[in-house]
Amino acid sequence: MVNEQDEKTVLDKFIEDIVKIINKHADYVIVGGFIAIAHGRSRATEDIDMIIEPLSEQKFAELHKELLKSGFECIQGGSASFLYRTYLLHGDGIRYVRKGEFIPQLELKFAKDKLDEYTLKTKTKLPFTGLDVYFANIETTIAFKEELLGSRKDIEDAKHLRIVYEDKLNDKEIEKIKKMIRLVKLGKNGKR
């Protein structure tokens, strides 16, 4: 009999380990291409994207300190204060890896608008993945990939998720989120 832990990928183990720490300090949601990969889509990625609730500098420093103590490091380097003031407060992400490794990476950003807040509020665990972590819901993921991102790999990710969740998708929710994207991310006229 194969141990379930042995079936997990390097990305799976990495995200579960780092989420155990982040979850103690902040509300989080995993977004982006890793969601499709966790659902069996075969494509390369070396990073996992995560949005967390905005934290005070002190609370972020506590999170950062525990990540360092647990065997992770921030690629950008520097103190928690430097990372907070230089990157996070300006809407930029910071990347964490296991000490001494370059991949996989977690790109962590603060929620910065109503859509990010909605993604956090509607997060879900996706049993199909076998991972005990919170993901953006499938409708949100599809809407972002089709309406905002639109690269070839994003469209393929969305198609894959539409197939996996064919009978479970809420098309009205996808359209609602696409409308929110046009208003919040693309401006009222919907232009990029």
pLDDT on residue 4: 46
Q: Is the preceding omega at residue 104 within 30 degrees of 0, hence cis? A: yes
Contact, 174 vs 139, CB < 8 A? yes
Give me the phi and psi of 81, to 5 degrees please: -60, -45
Per-residue pLDDT of the chain (192 residues; tens, 9 = 90+): 333 445 788 889 999 999 999 999 999 999 998 899 888 877 766 789 999 999 999 999 999 999 999 999 999 999 999 999 999 999 999 999 999 999 999 999 999 999 999 999 999 999 888 899 999 999 999 999 999 998 999 999 999 999 999 999 999 999 999 999 999 877 755 554
pLDDT tens-digit map of 37-55:
888 877 766 789 999 999 9
Domain covering 9-184 in this structure, CATH number: 3.30.460.40
Q: How far, in Å, CA of 164 to CA of 41, rounded?
A: 10
What's residue 5's pLDDT? 47
Residues 125-135: tens digit of each pLDDT: 998 888 999 99
At how many degrees (to 10) do helices 114-121 and 171-184 cross? 150
CB atoms inside a 10 Å sphere around CB 167: 4
Strand order in the sheet with 124-125: 72-74, 94-98, 105-110, 47-52, 28-31, 134-135, 124-125
Please state the pTM of the whole predicted model. 0.89
**Cα separation, 84 vs 5, whole angstroms:** 34
Question: Domain coordinates of the chain in residue numbers?
Answer: 9-184
Q: Phi first, then psi: what are they for 98, rounded to 5°?
A: -70, 145
CA separation for the pair 103, 29 (Å, rounded): 20
- Nearest partner of 47 among 26, 65, 31, 66, judged by Cα: 31
Q: What is the pLDDT, as a whole number, of residue 188?
A: 59
CB burial string 57-89: b at 16+ within 10 A, e below? eeebbebbeebeeeebebeeeeebeebbeebbe
Measured distance CA(173)–CA(184) in Å, rounded: 16
Amino acid 94: pLDDT: 98
